[in-house]
């Protein structure tokens, strides 16, 4: 199940101070530190998911496709790809909240939001062979290869310029 992006919100409430959402998520690009923050955040959500799964499986047996999307103050956002599981969790959330009170990470949780995240089916793309490169395109690729300082990129562009069927 993929991680939903939607639950990452900027909040300035007192409850958000106890949030498990890191304060330095990437704004633009993927600088090394921001990427590491994002990896840490994803690992933390996986850890929270591992802790909540036994509780959810005990209360909702038969449903095992759960993932913690966010934990912000008193709101726990849980994602699933099963509509029936989402309905059951909404119906039994009072029992889940009582069980979560026993876990220190979820002691402050008073509300549960359920997100249904449907996985799209993979698409198969069929296309014919590409036409040969024109001499002008080959020259442009060769000129572009000269402009790069990175040797791997330059060699790749030159190899592409020489390619023939």
pLDDT tens profile 99-140: 999 999 899 999 999 999 887 778 888 877 777 888 999 999
Same domain flag for 99 and 158: no
Q: Which domain holds residue 149?
A: 129-165
10 falls in which pLDDT band (50, 70, 90)? very low
Q: Is 29 left (phi over 0), alpha (psi -120 to 50) or beta?
A: left
pTM: 0.54
Q: Is residue 80 part of a domain?
A: yes
Q: Give tens-digit pLDDT for 19-73.
A: 444 444 444 444 556 778 888 888 999 999 999 999 999 999 888 889 999 999 8
Q: Does 112 share its domain with 146?
A: no
User: Would 6 be classed as within a structural domain?
Assistant: no
The larger pLDDT score, comparing residue 55 to residue 18, is at 55
Q: Encoding tokens for residue 71?
A: 């934990």
Q: How many domains does the chain have?
A: 2
CB-based contacts of 25: which residues, under 8 Å, 6+ apart?
8, 34, 37, 38, 41
Checking if the pLDDT of 17 tops 70, the result is no
The CATH number of whichever domain residue 103 belongs to comes to: 3.30.300.180
- The residues pairing with 79 across neighbouring beta strands, listed in sequence order, are 67, 115
Same domain, 26 and 62: yes
Q: Is residue 116 classed as helix, strand or coil in its secondary structure?
A: strand
Residues 29 and 61 in one domain: yes
Is residue 93 located within the same domain as residue 61? yes
* DSSP category for residue 29: S
Residue 134 is classified by DSSP as P
């Amino acid at each position: 199940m993929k991680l939903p992006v939607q639950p990452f919100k900027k909040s300035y409430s007192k409850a958000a101070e106890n949030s498990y959402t890191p304060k330095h998520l990437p704004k633009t690009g993927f600088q090394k530190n921001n990427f590491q923050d994002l990896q840490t955040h994803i690992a933390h959500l996986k850890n929270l998911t591992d802790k909540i799964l036994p509780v959810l499986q005990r209360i909702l047996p038969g449903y095992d496709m759960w993932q913690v999307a966010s934990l912000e103050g008193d709101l726990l956002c849980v994602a699933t790809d099963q509509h029936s599981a989402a309905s059951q969790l909404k119906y039994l959330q009072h029992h889940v909240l009582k069980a979560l009170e026993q876990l220190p990470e979820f002691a402050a949780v008073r509300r549960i939001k359920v997100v249904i995240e449907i996985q799209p089916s993979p698409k198969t793309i069929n296309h014919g062979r590409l036409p040969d490169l024109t001499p002008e395109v080959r020259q442009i690729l060769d000129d572009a290869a000269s402009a790069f300082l990175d040797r791997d990129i330059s060699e790749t562009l030159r190899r592409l310029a020489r390619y023939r069927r």
